[in-house]
Amino acid sequence: MNTDRSRRRKPKGAPTGGQFAPESHAESDVSLAAHSDEGIPAAWTATDSAALDTHIRSAEAADRIDASANPVITDQQLDELLDPERQPVSVRWAVSRLPYAGIAEVAARDPHPVVRAEARRAWDIPGGLAQELDADPAVQRVLAAMVA
């Protein structure tokens, strides 16, 4: 950027007053590399919830975890990923860490203490649930291990 104080400006009072007047200059030698999706999880590139369903129903837990970070995910898809009957702890724990409103309330009722402990750390945990989790010895052991 040219910080030279001698740059010409357009006259004050003109409709474009105060702006720099056009002048010739050399073009920048900076160029941007072409965009590549290489290394980006496929679940992150889904552009709608229907496309994301493929990843949410994947046999691979890692694919489901990747899908949870996609901004087009719906509340219904999040609920599916928090279901202890259908999802392993790793998926439920990953989803419980997301900053979406309402996740903490669902995660606080999870049967696994790691998921409940993550719910206790959430920004939107309701007061009554926070007190329940504070009184839960399994949750307190997990929280103590997280800080140690």
Closest to 110 measured CA to CA, from 100, 123, 99, 97 = 97
pLDDT in tens, 70-128: 999 999 999 999 999 999 999 999 999 999 999 999 999 999 999 999 999 999 999 99
Instruction: Name the phi and psi angles at 58, rounded to 5.
Output: -65, 150
Q: How far apart (Å, rounded) are the C-alpha atoms in residues 52 and 70?
A: 8
Give pLDDT tens digits for 24-41: 778 888 877 777 677 788
DSSP-assigned states of every residue in 44-61: GG--SHHHHHHHHT-S-H
Of 93, 69, 66, 72, give the one whose Cα is nearest residue 82. Answer: 93
